[in-house]
Amino acid sequence: MDKSRAALIDGKAFAAGLVQRLAARIETLKSTTGRVPGLAVVLIGDDPASQVYVNAKNRQTTAAGMQSFVHRLPADTSSDALLALVDALNLDPHVNGILVQLPLPAHLDAAAVINAIAPAKDVDGFHISNAGLLATGQKALVPCTPLGCLMLLKDRLVDLSGLNALVIGKSNIVGKPMAQLLMAENCTVTVAHSKTRNLPALCRAADIVVVAAGRPELVRGDWISPGATVIDVGINRVERDGKSRLVGDVAFAEASHAGAITPVPGGVGPMTIACLLSNTLTAFARQHGLADA
Ligand SMILES: Nc1nc(=O)c2c([nH]1)NC[C@@H]1CN(c3ccc(C(=O)N[C@@H](CCC(=O)O)C(=O)O)cc3)C=[N+]21
């Protein structure tokens, strides 16, 4: 029997290409303006997964020719101390982008911290001002993960207009901005979540499925319409055959009849970091009155 294979959407390779193009532009900026973009990352506490991500980001920021400023603060940092650091970074001319690693320890108010970041330096795109600009079709800094997903979708499908898109997950960080971006591309967008009824049927009607549910292998193969494009945002660490493994929110092995699918790892994750660097360059350019790329 001919068992066709879904095309693999190689986020890792796409991200590497994007970072290469960013590095070239940064090199040019350096020779014309004498400046390079700077990214400040604030990490509170010692969550091991957050450490790994911040280290990867620090390495790639430097490799792309940008300045990286990492601020590691103890888990019991006070709200006042954190807000004072954010204020200082807002005023620092060498810092063009600010990222406060989430989740924060429970005693800190994430929304208050995010909204204290100068919107022009909010390279996560989480500030209410950027969320509002995106929702109303104005020039915003767009959250990195949905921005990366959209790049992969446009690379694959070119024109998304009129397609049925299902977004599973309604977080402020992924689901909501993803839905906004897909609406801006003239998709017919459905947003599903943990209380949604008959998710399999909604999924079967979708040309595009973006899954950001945070539940390992939630989406089964028989939920996916033949030829659909599947973007798996999930990164779940699970025990399998006595080993620790990463799996997505989609049962990847069951999805061979999809048109195309992102793997985990090597799909959306690397795009998130590449888009963070892209947003930092965008923020730098706008702060210096230069044109967007
Ligand atoms: N303010 C804030 N902004 C963030 O963007 C943010 C955050 N907080 N908190 C934590 C999450 C997590 N995150 C990841 C980014 C890239 C990979 C990534 O590149 N993963 C690789 C490798 C994964 C591995 O091997 O462990 C992959 O999927 O192929 C993973 C996770 C950004 N986050």
Is there a common fold for 34-118 and 143-269? yes
Choices 1.10.3720.10, 3.10.350.10, 3.40.50.720, 3.40.50.9100: CATH for 143-269: 3.40.50.720
Main-chain phi, psi angles of 291, to 5 degrees: -70, 150
Q: Rounding to the nearest 10 degrees, give the CA dihedral for residues 125, 127, 129, 134.
A: 30
Predicted model pTM:
0.97
Q: What is the pLDDT along the chain (293 residues), one digit of tens a residue?
A: 446 799 999 999 999 999 999 999 999 999 999 999 999 999 999 888 899 999 999 999 999 999 999 999 999 999 999 999 999 999 999 999 999 999 999 999 999 999 999 999 999 999 999 999 999 999 999 999 999 999 999 999 999 999 999 999 999 999 999 999 999 999 999 999 999 999 999 999 999 999 999 999 999 999 999 999 999 999 999 999 999 999 999 999 999 999 999 999 999 999 999 999 999 999 999 999 998 87
Residue ranges per structural domain of the chain: 34-118, 143-269
Distance CA 252, CA 234 (A): 11
Interface predicted TM-score (ipTM)? 0.97
Q: How far is the CA of 119 from the centre of ligand 1 (A)?
A: 22
Where does 34-118 sit in CATH, by number? 3.40.50.10860
Q: State the distance from the centre of ligand 1 to the C-alpha of 4, rounded, in angstroms.
A: 31
Kindly report the protein residue whose alpha carbon is nearest to atom 18 of ligand 1: 269
